[in-house]
Chains A and B, each alone.
Chain A
Amino acid sequence: MNDIWLGLGSGIAFGFIIQRVGATNPQKMVLAHLMKERYIPQFMLLVVMIAALGVFGLEAAGTGTTRVLPTSLVATGLGGVLFGIGWGLSGYCPGTCWAAVGEGRMDAVFALLGGLLGTAAFAQLHETLIPALYMPTNFGQITLSDWLGSPALALGVLLIFFGGGVLLIGRLWGPQHD
């Protein structure tokens, strides 16, 4: 029961913030992807940097729950390609479309319905696609820490890499449109 209240509260805070930053607005997503407006991609990278610092702190304090998803060269990549086409076409991703439905966007309602159908289609094919596409190139739950040998070093590299990304987007993307 506690989980439900925690999930609900976290979801409300999450949905509220992403609406306020403009991530539920597909117009802004299109402008971001066309490199005309820099704010949403910069925001996403900053969120990762801040959350990574916080989760590093949680782990140091021996609390919190982490679960690293495996990397499958083919399935993670192919899934990303399909996802990228859908994201580019609609301007929505699975999380933002829930908040955008709440905001009253009718095109998001259709994205959500399409999403339910896409989920049903994948669930139907799971037994065929996971062994065929996911398992053969599955490298397991690898992290940057495994590659670099130290979690602190890996965090440092992530912060430099993403911080550089924020600056680069600031250079290459245009300023806010409205």
Chain B
Amino acid sequence: MEPTKEKSYWPIIPSAIALGGVMVFIFATFGPPASSSGFVTTLKGLLQPIAPEYIAGKSHYRMMPGPGSWLMAFVLGMAIGGFLAGRTFGREVHDVPQAWQNRFGSNKRRRYAATFVGGFLILFGARLAGGCTLGLFLSGSTQLAISGLYFGAVIFIVAMLTTRLVYIHKEDSHE
């Protein structure tokens, strides 16, 4: 593990009040927050100049706004927020997490291939379900939506099983 004398993460109760407040602010000023939709918006912006007929003919792109939108600004804002928080945190980031290294070694390419596949699956799954951790689970459950509660239960159970299968062996023998 990393040395323990580094800056520590925020305690969860004040953080949850802060993020819950941000969520309510978003509901008040825009509507339910979402981030997997931001991928559709990004892609629409990237493909529009290259293949305008394709974009115009596909309902998944038609149902989402283009880059000049709240959604696009929100996901870019997330990256900026992550940048500012990371820069002022004083803790080094690792391209390969320790748990992955313990199991598969420090080969970066292998880790990048895995996160590429993981990224493909989270977005394909989110677009099929209609949203992600934020757009479906957090936003949905906040509105007492059955879709959000159901999706939340499925993703937690499956992610816990997957993590167990992928990461467990050496992770344990190293402790």
Contact = CB atoms under 8 A, between A and B. Distances in A.
B74 A122 contact: no
Nearest to A161: B149
B70 A102 contact: no
Nearest to A63: B28
Given A66-B32, A115-B39, A79 B129 contact: yes
Contact of A68 (B4, B124, B143): B143
Nearest to A83: B125
Interface residues of B, number: 126
B119 A84 contact: no
B136 A69 contact: yes
A55 B27 CA distance: 7
B151 A13 contact: no
Contact of B12 (A39, A134, A145): A39
B145 A92 contact: no
B30 A6 contact: yes
Chain A residues touching B, majority SS: helix
A86 B70 CA distance: 26
B13 interface: yes
A26 B164 contact: no
Given A114-B120, A122-B60, A70 B130 contact: yes
B50 interface: no
Interface in B130-167: 130-138, 140-151, 153-167
A94 interface: yes
A68 B145 contact: yes
B77 A58 contact: no
Given A92-B122, A111-B118, A126-B60, A50 B21 contact: yes
Given A84-B155, A111-B116, A69 B145 contact: yes
A82 B128 contact: yes
15 contacts: A26-B100, A48-B141, A49-B20, A50-B20, A63-B28, A68-B140, A78-B128, A82-B122, A106-B112, A110-B115, A110-B116, A118-B120, A127-B58, A142-B146, A142-B147
Interface of A: 3-22, 24-28, 30-31, 33-35, 39, 41-44, 46-55, 57-58, 63-72, 75-108, 110-124, 126-127, 129-130, 133-134, 139, 141-145, 147, 151, 154-155, 158, 162, 177-178
Interface of B: 1-2, 4, 6, 8-10, 12-13, 15-33, 35-36, 38-40, 42-43, 46, 58-61, 68-86, 89, 93-100, 108, 111-138, 140-151, 153-168, 171
